[in-house]
Structures are given as C-alpha cells and as structure tokens.
Structure 1
Amino acid sequence: MSGKTAPRSAGDAVARTRLERGRGALGPALELVHTGRAPTRAVLTAELGVTRATAGAVAAELESLGLIRVDSHPSAASGSQGRPSHRLHLADDGPVVLAAQVHSDGFRAALVGLGGHLVATAPGCGTVGAGFVDVLDQVVTAGAELLAAAGRRCVGAGLSVPSAVAEPEGTALNPLHLPWPPGAPVREAFAERVRAAGITGPALAGNDVNLAALAEHRHGAGRGARDLLCVATGHTGVGGALVLDGKLHTGSAGLALEVGHLRVDPDGRPCHCGGRGCLDVETNPLAFLAAAGRTPGPEVSLLRQAEELLRDGYADVAVRTAAERLIDRLGLGLAGLVNILNPDRIILGGLHRSLLAADPERLRAVVADRSLWGRSGGVPILPCVLDHNSLVGAAELAWQPVLDDPLAALA
C-alpha cells in the first residue's frame, strides 16, 4: 500500500506547489498587465520566470476575477517571428476605484479602472472652505453618483491632497494652500465618508505630487525609469517626489522631498516657511506673473493665467525675460537635487512643464552646468504626460491592495 500511495502524495505535493506558485504570481502578473509591460502571455511568462502552463493558469485566474481578458486566438505582431501568443487586455467592464483630488481651486472625483484609465469624471467647482470634512463629503458624494450611474463594482478609494501626509496617522501636516488646520485627519475623515456612502474597500490618502509621480512612473513619462524625480508646480507652491528602484519614496514619516523649500535665491522673495528665495516662491505661477509685470486676475487659476501668458506672449521681451529667470532658478534647484539623488530621469509638471517646453535647451544647460554629473552624461528631463496625474495616482493608492493580492482583495 505504501508503494501505491507515495506517488499519489508526491503528485499532490507538486500540484499544491504549482497552485501556490500560481497564486503568488497573480499580483505580479496583474501589475505587469496594469502597467502595460505584459501585452501577451508569452511576455508574461518571461517576465514572471514561470512555465507557460503556469502563466496560462495565472492569466485564466485573473480573467475569472474579471480583471483581464485573454484573446481566445493567439496572434503574432506584424513582422514578428516565432509562435503566436495570446494577447492580454484589461477588462473593459472590470472593477473600478474612486479617485478624488482636492486643490486650492476646488476638487474633482473620478472612477478609474486598471491601467490608469479614467472611466468617468465629475469636476467639482468652487472654493475649498475651512471645513475639510464638508469638502470630503462633497467629493465622495460626487463619486458615489458616478458609481451609481456606471453600475460598476468599486474596490477602494484614494484621495490626493496638496499637503504632506504624515504616516501612519494620515494627517495633512501642512495644507499651506488650503484653509485647513495643520494636522487635519484627512485619511480618517475620507474613510468615514467613503463608508457612509456605502463604498467598500480601503480608503487611502496621499500627497498630490507623490501620487502624480507614482502615476507617471506606472503609466506615463516615468515608465521604465528606476530612480525617478518629479518636480511640479500647480496652482500654488512647488512639490517634489521620488521613485526609488520602482517604489515611491516617502521617508520615515511620509514627509520626504519637500523640494519647494530649497533656496535658489538668497535675496529672493519671502517664503511662507520663514525662509527667503525658496523654489516654492521663485518658480510658481505667481512669481512668473509678477516677474512679467502682470497683475493676476480673479477669473481663472494662477496656473492657467501663467501658462496662457507663457504660450501666447513669449514673443514679448518682458515675458521671455521672466521665463528665463524662472528657468534659471528651477535649473539651479534641479541641479542640487541631481547632486543629492542621482536620478536617471526627471519629469516636470504644471508650470514647470510649460517652462521646459518654452526653452528646453536653456533648462537642460543650467542643470548640466550646475550638477556634478551633468556635464558627463546629463539626466533626461521630460514633461509629465498624463492628464490629471494626481487623480490617477490617487487611484493607484486604491488599486495597490488588489495588485498585492487580487484573490484576497476581491474575495
């Protein structure tokens, strides 16, 4: 009897091992499809380092969970050689997450699918008041209305705010450009509103530039970079974020990369941090408008006014001189960051993206001239490419538990 049962036990053990290996590969496999790095089952097999049979089983399991779709008939890319492979697509009718963004000029809610695809958006206009709970209530209500109209399963929610978000508390430590009290418990309040709206799944919050960098790294201009530096200025202020070895670096308490308070002009403008000449006040939209001799109007945001002036008025000497001043200040700050961080790519957002477009050679020359390693090779400096990248990044927060363990997250 022992001779007959041993082979069956060994076979069972092999089967269990294959099953466990396949389940352990579900998350990495989903992330590969989510980020566009595995368009076919053959690529998935190679990237995971598993057998074709295991990769096929993993793809089938993700399809059964409603996350991806596997073409029933294999096909080969035009001009390719070798065996055709089944193409992998994200499910068009799969689950979504609720993403929300609050900034100084209002808020926006969206439903975001895998791949960073915006399924539906609901812009919320108006002034952000001091009652942060009321604002979060409005944005979650807008998101709940989108969900009701879409009829899609929601597996979580993410919130982007223009403030450092302290960990592990989830508090907005310094919402300097919002009339919110320092230390506002935004994650807790957001989670409470999400639960009250009947939305299931985790509810998380993060800094807007951190989330923009995360989105760009997975789906945009930062894709393929190992160490990615993102610097951006939106409606007000300047923020920075760093992706190290493919992972967002937030420091020991979520407060890393406050690049806005690098000093780039000792005799410059006073900064709200108590210093003078910080990147935050020397390279933001208000600084550009002031340097160009323009008085900002109340009709549209400072960012839009600055970008329109840069685009439409660059032939004006005063506008061009103002742009060059900001480019030089920005380049000085970026050079200092390159010396410290040694990134393999820099991406710029907001007005900084527009400054790069206005005179890319000047900005790259300043960075190369003032950084230790710039003259020998240089760091690629690229514009952010995703629309609403902070919103997509907020969605990435909510998708992360699914990417980590699809079976547990969707059980």
Structure 2
Amino acid sequence: MRGKAASGAGGQTAGEAEGSARSPRLERGRGALGPALELVHTGRAPTRAVLTAELGVTRATAGAVAAELEALGLIRIDAKPSAAAGSQGRPSHRLSLAEDGPVALAAQVHSDGYRAALVGLGGRIVATTPGCEIIDPDPARVLGSVVDAGARLLRETGRHCVGAGLAVPSAVAEPEGTALNPLHLAWPAGAPVREIFAERVREAGIDRPAFAANDVNLAALAEHRHGAGRGARDLLCVATGHRGVGGALVLDGRLHTGSSGLALEVGHLTVNPEGRPCYCGSRGCLDVETDPLALLDAAGREPGPDGSLLHQARELIAGSLDDPKVRMATEALIDRLGLGLAGLVNILNPDRIILGGLHRALLDADPNRLRAVVADRSLWGRSGGVPILACTLDHNSLVGAAELAWQPVLDDPLSGLAPA
C-alpha cells in the first residue's frame, strides 16, 4: 500500500500545494486550451501576445494556457526570441508546434491506389508511404492494407498516435459512415467504410478513434485551415480525383456537409447536355466532362497502362499544350468547368474558389479563360469577381483526413490525449 505524500501547509500534499500555486490562472483558462491550440495549429497565433488578444484573456492566463499546451507536448514556447531589425521593446514569446509531438494516422483510397501518412499538428506530413497502385474490390482488404502501412510508419517513427482518419472518393452518409457511391472503386454501394476502417485500426493495435469522410470535403477542410483557403469565410472547393469530380463548401469557417453528409455532389451538375453518359444515369455531368479521362479522350490519347490517369492528364497539359488537339481539348474542359463553377457561384455566392487535381492544372494552363467564363456566366462574377485559386497543399485529402483525427484534441486537448 502506498504511503501518503508529504503534507504541506494547511494539510495539503506537496502535489496539491504545487497545483494550487498555479491553478487560479490555469483553471480560468482551461476552457481556452482547445481554442488556443487551434489558433497555433492554424498559424493564427505565432506569439503569446497574439494568443492573448485572440482569446480575449489576460497575458498571465494566456501564458498559463500556453505552458499547459507545452507540457502536453503539443507546442513549444520560445521565451527569448530574437527581435526584428529596427523593432523596439522586448519581443513576445514565440509559439510553435512541437516537431516531435503526436501524430494522426491518415489514409486515402482512390481509384488508382492508396496511401498512408502520419500528420502532425499544423497539417505537417511527418512520414508517408509510397503510393500503392493496386485496388481490391473488397474494401476490407484495401483498408486493412492501408492501415497496416500506417501502423508500420508508427512503429518506425515511435510517434504517439491521436487517432486515424480515412479519405474516400465517395459521399459518406452520416451517421452510418457508409460509402454511398464508390463508383470508381468497384466497391459495393453502401459499404460501411468507417466501421471497417475502425476495426482494422483496432486490429493493428491502435486503440484510438477512427473517422472517415469524402476526399474532396477533407481537401477543402485542409486547405481552409492550412492552404489556399485560409482566411476565407465561404469557401468553395472543386477538384478532380483520379476519376470523377467532387465539391465541398466551407460556410462561416465550418465544413458544410448537409443533413446527412451528402451535400455538394457537384460532379453531377450538367455542363454539356449532349455530352458523355454519366454513371449516375444522366449525360454531360461535370464528373465525366472535366475529369482526367475526359481530357485524354478529347485529346485523342489512350490511357497508358502505367501511372494514374490524373498524372497522365497533368503531364499532357504540362508538356503538350503546343499540340493543337491537346490545346483544343484543354480549352473545352476549361469552358465546361467554368460553366459549372458559374452555376455554383450563382447559388452559393462564395468569397473564394479553390481548384484541385486536374482542375488546378486547367487553371494554370489558361487562368484568364477560366475566370472569363465564370465572370460571363455568373451574376456575382460580373459585379465583383470571385477569386479562383489553385489548391496549395500536397496530399490535401490526407491532411484533411488527419484533421478529422486531430479534431477531438483541438476540441479538448486534455480529453483528446487521454488514453482511450
């Protein structure tokens, strides 16, 4: 039986006395731990002075909150930063994310393969596996393989894992966590991907929460927090995956998924009524008119046996725009994409549009043409112009999958890091 700890003044144990010495400020600020961590996580609080202002607390309370986050191994405090040239006074303590801190296991599955990664706070990819180009029609086998790959990374790095997130190229129904239309994976409709993923995570010895969501939704979340969408209030993201087209919307700083997770299925917006048959039963949808296969077909190029369709389409634009047929195909896709974006702008009135996958390459190929189509067809585009930017994060769906796993920690660092 353990003996009692030595008592301090007033009958307190030594630990209690130490805690009471720092508890008033920390207890007042404990509810600010999550908001403070999110501010540092998204780069909005690089110093203690900024953190104090953003939280609306005293400098002492902000200091106690930052010290607690450092004690949890999440951030680092530089109490003696060098002053900028010409500045006066003592510079504020600098706050940065702990480079050796915990990570989330992120996984992405697409029509050309899968990849696993470990992602720290700030959206920083710590380690990643090579992309695998084999997809099995059985989701349990694929998810088992990608989780095993992620578990190997955890063993090799020795990092603590806060949870796991999965990005899939399908609408994911809530609250069931089922992939309703994994059209390009040959998986059965309604596959319980979240349940399967969580089971594989547990079987790998990772006793942490597991999540799953649509890949473009997760790309938008990552870009909003760490990339081209940072600072936008109402952000529209449209992107091609390796096949098909997806969309996502961040409203007032929060990802909008609708009543059951199925919002922004923009791939089935008609942009060419006499166009290609779509998997949904319609014709001329954005999904089949502006994806990598559509570009290769329009340019008269057969898809190669090696490498992803997305990579082949990007390479075609990057290296062959002087070919009249490739230029014509690229312009046709730009016009159809612009038509779809204009319709979305009229409905959603976003303050920024970001494009990913092949759409990013289309924007780079002729930004003026795309913006002109959107402005000409959009009521709001004509009056003010909506900025159209390229996504900037590598593997943004993986980073977004990690954001799912990090969210419980951002909500409540003490509970989120506690053993499951």
* TM-score bin, normalised by smaller chain: over 0.9
Is 2:233 the partner of 1:226? yes
The residue that corresponds to 2:29 in the other structure is 22
SS in 2 for 1:119: strand
Q: Distance in 2 between matches of 1:79 and 1:317?
A: 55
Return the letter of the residue paired with 1:285. Answer: P
Q: Is the 8 A contact 2:181 2:189 kept in 1?
A: yes
Q: Which structure 1 residue ranges, 4+ long, deviate > 6 Å from structure 2?
A: none
CA contact (8 A) 2:25 2:60 kept: no
Secondary structure at the residue paired with 1:125? Answer: coil
Moved more, 78-87 or 346-355: 78-87
Q: Is the 8 A contact 1:99 1:395 kept in 2?
A: yes
Q: Counterparts of 1:21 and 1:251 in 2: how far apart (Å)?
A: 36
Q: Partner of 1:61 in structure 2? A: 68
Is 1:166 equivalent to 2:166 in the alignment? no
**In structure 2, what residue type is equivalent to 1:32?**
L
Residues 212-265 of structure 1, C-alpha deviation per residue, up to 9 Å, x if partnerless?
000001111001111100000021100000001110000000000000000111
Task: Report the counterpart of residue 331 of structure 1 in structure 2.
Answer: 338
> Which residue of structure 1 aligns with residue 5 of structure 2?
none
Structure 2 residue identity aligned to 1:166: A
- Residue 151 of structure 2 is matched in structure 1 by 144
Mapped to 1, the partners of 2:184 and 2:86 lie a distance apart of 53
Q: Which residue does the alignment assign to 1:313?
A: 320
Kindly state the Cα deviation for residue 131 of structure 1 after the two structures are TM-superposed.
1.1
- Stretches of structure 1 that go unaligned for 5 or more consecutive residues are 1-12
SS of 1:268's equivalent?
A: coil
CA shift, 1:123, in A, is 2.4
C-alpha deviation, 1:75, in angstroms = 3.9
SS in 2 for 1:156: strand
Amino acid at match of 1:348: L
Q: Deviations over 1:256-285 (max 9, x none)?
A: 000000011111111110111111111111
Number of corresponding residues? 399
Picking from 395, 398, 403, the partner of 1:388 is 395
Cα separation, 1, equivalents of 2:373 and 2:133: 39
- Distance in 2, matches of 1:387 and 1:288, equals 22
1:397 is aligned to: 404
Residue 81 (structure 1) shift: 4.5
Partner of 1:243: 250
Distance 1:182 1:174 in 2: 5
Gaps of 5+ in 2: 1-19
Q: Which deviations, in whole Å up to 9, do the C-alpha atoms of 1:97-153 show, x marking residues without a partner?
A: 100001111110111110111111112423211111111111111111111110111
Question: Whole-Å Cα distance in 2 between the matches of residues 78 and 86 of structure 1?
Answer: 17
Alignment correspondent of 2:91: 84
Deviation digits for residues 139-185 of structure 1 (CA, Å, limit 9, x no counterpart): 11111111111011111000010100000000111100101101101
Name the SS of the counterpart of 1:152 in structure 2. coil
Maintained 8 Å contact 2:79/2:92: no
Q: Aligned equivalents of 1:76 and 1:399: distance in 2?
A: 33
Could you give the per-residue CA deviations for residues 9-44 of structure 1, whole angstroms, max 9, x where no partner exists? xxxx9x977444311100010001001111100111
Aligned match of 1:282: 289
Partner residue, 1:108: 115
> Does the aligned pair in 2 maintain the 1:75–1:86 contact within 8 Å?
no
Q: Secondary structure at the match of 2:129?
A: strand
Partner in structure 2 of residue 7 of structure 1: none
Q: Is the 8 A contact 2:169 2:241 kept in 1?
A: no
Match of 1:302 among 302, 305, 309: 309
State the superposition RMSD in angstroms: 1.5
Which of 181, 194, 198 in structure 1 is aligned with 2:201? Answer: 194
Residue 259 (1) aligns with residue 258 (2): no
Q: Which residue of structure 1 aligns with residue 162 of structure 2?
A: 155
Candidates 358, 370, 373, aligned match of 1:366: 373
Q: 1:268 & 1:80 partners in 2: Cα distance? A: 62
